Amino acid sequence: MVEAARKNFESLMAEISSDEEAPVTKQEEKKEEQQSPPPPPSTETKKDEEKEEEEEEEEPAGFKYAASGKGKKGRQQKRKEAKAAMEKKRQEEAKESMKGWVDPREEEDKSIAKLLEPLGMRVRDIKPDGNCLYRALADQCREHRDSLPEQLGKEVEKWGGGDEDGYRSLRRVAANFLRSHQAEFEGFVEEADFSSYARQVEETAEWGGDIELMALARALHANIHVYSARMDEQTFSPFSPSSVHLRLSFHQHAYSLGAHYNSVVPA
């Protein structure tokens, strides 16, 4: 009987000891759960976060907005509006910078027109192809055909209304006059071979200038007047007096290639 009572006492003490230790174990487990770090994010979560960061980096510089709660479509619309605003600003700045700009060709044309107005003259446009000086003079020769030397007048009559025969004929006239007066002109020519220079005048589309104007004024026995916006009127005359007056206008800004001659005719 004593033995049975002892066993009952030991069993009761074991149960009490077990009940006292259980809460402590649960508290420690809860504490460990609170102290342990959260689990690492999944691969899908990382990709979503990286994509959002990339989209945020694509925003135009200087444009920042608060989240609207509309997601990706809302951000795209914001970016589109920002780009449109920046483009509009750029166009306005470009327009503002153009306010003080003046078209040099337009200004030059106005100046020459103002110069010719008191003379009752105007500019007639000539094709810009390297032959403009000769084309412009051919146009003038047609205008004053009856006043030209007889032989040249007959030559002009053969040209008819075509430009090709006219400018080619005047190139030959200029080249032949240079050849026959080489001693007078070779000092003005930079090329060492004067014969090559004369051949270039006759056979190519090389631009003509003061040398050719001097030669043609004497060959045609005519006064050639050249009007320009930034220089005084230039007159190339033959050695003996002449009543023939051929008129050209000289333009520095008419075309991107540079110098250009037009014909001047009655308004």
* Six token digits for residue 30: 């809860």
Helix (H) or strand (E) holding 183: helix 182-185
Q: How confident is the model at residue 24 (pLDDT cuts 50, 70, 90)?
A: very low
Q: How far apart are CA 183 and CA 193, in angstroms?
A: 13
Q: How far apart are CA 59 and CA 47, in angstroms?
A: 19
Q: How far apart are CA 78 and CA 90, in angstroms?
A: 18
Average pLDDT, the chain: 79
Q: Could you read off the pLDDT of 65-107 as tens digits, one per residue?
A: 444 445 677 888 888 888 888 888 888 777 766 666 678 889 9
pLDDT of residue 192: 81
Q: Region 55-64: what's the mean pLDDT?
A: 49
Q: Could you read off the pLDDT of 143-191 as tens digits, one per residue?
A: 988 888 787 778 888 876 556 789 999 999 999 999 999 999 999 998 8
Q: How confident is the model at residue 141 (pLDDT cuts 50, 70, 90)?
A: very high
Q: Where are the domains of the chain?
A: 104-266
How far apart, in Å, are the Cα atoms of 243 and each of 68, 171, 174, 191? 86, 23, 20, 34
Q: Residue 13, by phi and psi: left (phi above 0), alpha (psi -120 to 50) or beta?
A: alpha
Architecture, CATH, for domain 104-266: Alpha-Beta Complex (3.90)
**In the predicted model, is pLDDT for residue 17 greater than 90?**
no
Kindly report the pTM of this predicted structure: 0.62
